[in-house]
């Protein structure tokens, strides 16, 4: 079994409206996020688990939706926690990649991350 990994970064703004007034996360703020996508499987006849160029293109599409966005405005990210961002990315990539094994979303400046292993994990 092999794991193939592709990474991309995006910058975005968000807020957590469920937080009480005055809480530092209730107001609009932004982060740089790093997303890692892992595909697991055995190489096909061509020698690859997945075509890395195609995986990068798929990640570029997701990046285009997230980068410099107000995350709360994206359907499914009304509460844009690391957990929900990881699941949101998973839901966009899983139909294309049967072997999608995990999605990790990190805020490196805060040394925080979340890894989603899918609904079956």
Average pLDDT of the chain, as a whole number: 95
For residues 84 and 67, give the distance between their C-alpha atoms in angstroms, rounded to a whole number: 16
Residue 63 sits at the vertex; the CA angle it makes with 71 and 47, to the nearest 5 degrees, is 145
**Over the stretch 31-63, which tens digit does the pLDDT of each residue have?**
999 999 999 999 988 899 999 999 999 999 999
68: left (phi over 0), alpha (psi -120 to 50) or beta: left
**Which domains, ranges and CATH numbers included, belong to the chain?**
2-116 (3.30.479.10)
> What's residue 22's pLDDT?
85
Q: Which residues pair with 33 in a beta bridge?
A: 10
Q: What's the distance, CA 48 to chain centroid?
A: 23
What one-character DSSP code corresponds to residue 88? H
pTM for this one? 0.94
């Amino acid at each position: 079994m092999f794991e193939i990994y592709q990474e991309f970064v995006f910058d975005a703004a968000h807020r957590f409206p469920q937080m009480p007034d005055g809480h530092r996360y209730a107001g609009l703020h932004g982060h740089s996020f790093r997303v890692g996508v892992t595909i697991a499987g055995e190489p096909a006849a061509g020698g690859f688990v997945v075509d890395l160029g195609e995986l990068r293109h798929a990640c570029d599409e997701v990046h285009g939706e997230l980068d410099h966005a107000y995350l709360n405005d994206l359907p499914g990210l009304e509460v844009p926690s690391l957990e929900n961002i990881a699941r949101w990315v998973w839901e966009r990539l899983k139909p294309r990649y049967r072997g999608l094994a995990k999605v990790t979303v990190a805020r490196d400046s805060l040394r925080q991350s979340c890894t989603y292993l899918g609904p079956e994990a």
